[in-house]
A = this chain, B = another copy of it.
């Protein structure tokens, strides 16, 4: 299968990755969450080639994850900002950072920490069940085929 066919798969993870699963896309989004909005700033901070950066930004705008907003006229200059759809990737980014903090950090610990504005504390993201509010791990989950997808259950589950 070609990578470009991933979005046709009957799998939400594959479809999500068809948008954000690229090598560079997630680090672009990380900087977007930090407030970096301009082409040149992204290029400098990421060390990405202009070619690839332009391509990824274009695709993220096409997918509705970022949008271009003018910040000056004459000449028109535009910056890239997260849409609501893009902002909703925050749990993914938090989860990746948290895993990196736990498993890839050196002796200096986490380079960046998250402070929860409401409670004022340095926080880690915890994933809980939307029904009972209890923390969930891989062991606590059973996977089932969605109601509209029963016919494909052999393909969806091993």
How many positions in chain A have a CB within 8 Å of any CB in the partner chain?
96
In the complex, A69 has a CB within 8 A of chain B:
no
Interface residues of A in 116-137 (CB under 8 A from B): 116-119, 121-134, 136-137
Chain A interface secondary structure, helix, strand, loop or mixed?
Answer: mixed
In whole Å, how far is A42's beta carbon from the nearest beta carbon of chain B?
10
Extra pairs beyond A35-B158, A118-B134, A126-B130 (12, CB < 8 Å) = A12-B97, A12-B112, A33-B138, A34-B143, A85-B103, A90-B127, A90-B137, A92-B92, A92-B96, A108-B148, A113-B144, A125-B127
- Tell me if A100 and B138 are in contact (CB < 8 A): no
By beta carbon, the residue of chain B nearest A114 is B141
